[in-house]
Amino acid sequence: MTTDATPRLRADARRNRDRIITAARTAFTDRGTDVPMEEIARIAGVGIGTLYRRFPDRDSLIRAVGQDAFQRVLDKAREIVDSEPDPWQALTEVLLSGTDLHTVVRLSMLSERARSVLGDDPELQRCRDELLEIMDGLVRAAQENGSLRPDVSSGDIGIILSMLLQNIHAAPEDVRRDAPARYLTLVLDGLQARPGTPLPGRPVTPEDIVMNRPNARR
């Protein structure tokens, strides 16, 4: 009896953990990292006690969501780069790859608390550094083959994404759902190399927008 019950309990615990992370990822992306823990438990379909057994505080949940989302985006970016030889098309596919990328941008650029929590996580730093390297490589390759305008960088694209992910709270649900992809498509058209208006300022580097590392804090 004990032998049969233990694996079942562990499977239930894993399912609950996955449901909580999925619910928190959606809530954090749509509404920011201050969503009440009770609301996340409700979305996940678990009791608040179950949530706190898996994640004793908000920071531990933010860390788990960040690790999950960054790894998903990195895996997707690797897959796209391996299968798509055209750098502009690959860059477009990565940027339009879906909600996991939105979660990464939300946590790394739009939430000061998440940046603080995630900035000292070595595994997440590894994922982030590889992802930035992939994005930077796609940007440079697309510029070299003449498909991307030469006066932007991967950091500029990161800032554009963060601007596009600011929720339009008063809009209908279907408008809010489609807004990131809709307006990113418009922006991508403007990023293609063609005669256009020179941009003010300098290209933004990945280092300008990267999450703080512990030894960079003052």
Average pLDDT over residues 41-49: 97
Average pLDDT over residues 161-182: 76
Nearest Cα to Cα of residue 129 among 54, 200, 86, 73: 73
Percent of the chain surpassing pLDDT 70: 89
Do 40 and 98 fall into the same domain? no
Do 199 and 141 fall into the same domain? yes
d(CA 186, CA 54) in angstroms, rounded, equals: 41
Range(s) of the domain holding residue 203: 58-216
Determine the pLDDT at residue 181: 83
Spell out a b/e string for 37-68, using b for 16 or more CB atoms within 10 Å of the CB, else e.
beebbebbebeeebbeebbeebeebbbbbbbb
Of the ranges 26-35, 104-113, 179-188, which one carries the lowest mean pLDDT score?
Answer: 179-188
Do 20 and 38 fall into the same domain? yes
Average pLDDT over residues 39-63: 96
Do 135 and 35 fall into the same domain? no
Determine the pLDDT at residue 141: 97
pLDDT bracket for residue 215 (50, 70, 90): very low
> What total number of domains does the chain contain?
2
Dihedral sign for Cα 58, 28, 72, 164, please: negative
Task: Answer yes or no: are the C-beta atoms of 11 and 17 closer than 8 Å.
Answer: no
Angle at 102 between CA 177 and CA 88, to 5 degrees: 100
Q: 45: domain CATH number?
A: 1.10.10.60
Predicted model pTM: 0.82
Nearest Cα to Cα of residue 199 among 145, 159, 168: 159
Do 128 and 212 fall into the same domain? yes
Determine the pLDDT at residue 50: 95
Determine the pLDDT at residue 217: 40
Average pLDDT over residues 52-77: 96
Percent of the chain surpassing pLDDT 90: 57
Q: What is the mean pLDDT of the chain?
A: 87
Of the ranges 3-17, 70-84, 116-130, which one carries the lowest mean pLDDT score?
Answer: 3-17
Do 48 and 149 fall into the same domain? no
Final residue belonging to a domain, choices 10, 35, 56: 56
Determine the pLDDT at residue 211: 60
Residue 148 bridge partners (DSSP): 192
Residue 163 has pLDDT above 80, yes or no: yes
pLDDT bracket for residue 167 (50, 70, 90): low
Higher pLDDT, 181 or 85: 85
Do 20 and 73 fall into the same domain? no
Determine the pLDDT at residue 216: 43
d(CA 80, CA 93) in angstroms, rounded, equals: 7
Of the ranges 2-16, 34-48, 197-211, which one carries the lowest mean pLDDT score?
Answer: 2-16
